[in-house]
Chains A and B, each alone.
Chain A
Amino acid sequence: DTGVSQNPRHKITKRGQNVTFRCDPISEHNRLYWYRQTLGQGPEFLTYFQNEAQLEKSRLLSDRFSAERPKGSFSTLEIQRTEQGDSAMYLCASSFLPSGGEADTQYFGPGTRLTVL
């Protein structure tokens, strides 16, 4: 399977615990995005990377959230001191943007469903 993969698919944790999710993008995709989706809503942008550089973070991304893409390939999203309001589906998407280009199509992974008890 050469699509975007995410692990774990499901995570149940207790309030106050830290959790980390991993995203493996489509090979050679230079852009990687994180979104959060709650029931009945569309995905909301959290942050994105161009290679290993984190270029933008949403105001939704509080200081409890941190994302990395150390080698420009896979990415991790960590949530510290989880709260019940963090319960959501966390989606990763990747795309390829050629040098000097402006247009890219994002392809989504299956998501990690987080439940905070």
Chain B
Amino acid sequence: GQNIDQPTEMTATEGAIVQINCTYQTSGFNGLFWYQQHAGEAPTFLSYNVLDGLEEKGRFSSFLSRSKGYSYLLLKELQMKDSASYLCAVRVLTGGGNKLTFGTGTQLKVEL
């Protein structure tokens, strides 16, 4: 089976940097995704890692260590609109396809 852990809640200050961690235990690992989800809305794709290392996309960066089963999402220059749930999801090869197994999400609150 798959097990994905991420903190339930985090609070940070506007303009600051925040790191959201995700640890996973899974078989058939085929990549790790981060999605942003505002309340009542669909998850929006942020980033994807399949190899170890850091992927940078503007204010967002994501890191993966496959040997440690660990990833983090780094958000820089935080803005109020970044207040949302951040979902870590592991892609697993299964039956010739891919499916995503999600963590429960980290609710980030950005304060003034």
Given A41-B104, A42-B87, A42-B103, A102:B98 Cβ within 8 A: yes
Contact partner, A40, options B45, B48, B104, Cβ 8 Å: B104
Bound Cα distance A42, B4 (Å): 10
Given A91-B42, A111-B42, A42:B89 Cβ within 8 A: yes
Residue A62 lies at the interface, judged by CB distance under 8 Å to chain B: no
Residue A21 lies at the interface, judged by CB distance under 8 Å to chain B: no
Residue A44 lies at the interface, judged by CB distance under 8 Å to chain B: yes
Contact B42 A45 (CB under 8 A): no
Given A102-B93, A105-B48, A110:B99 Cβ within 8 A: no
> Using a Cβ–Cβ cut-off of 8 Å, how many residues does chain A contribute to the interface with B?
27
Return B29 CB to nearest CB of chain A, in Å: 12
Bound Cα distance A41, B43 (Å): 12
Interface residues on B, range: 20 to 34
Bound Cα distance A32, B109 (Å): 32
Residue A104 lies at the interface, judged by CB distance under 8 Å to chain B: yes
Residue A48 lies at the interface, judged by CB distance under 8 Å to chain B: yes
Contact partner, A110, options B33, B41, B98, B105, Cβ 8 Å: B41
Question: 6 nearest interchain CB pairs?
Answer: A42-B102, A108-B42, A45-B99, A56-B95, A108-B43, A110-B42
10 interchain pairs (CB within 8 A)? Answer: A31-B97, A42-B4, A43-B43, A43-B87, A55-B96, A97-B98, A103-B31, A106-B45, A107-B45, A108-B44
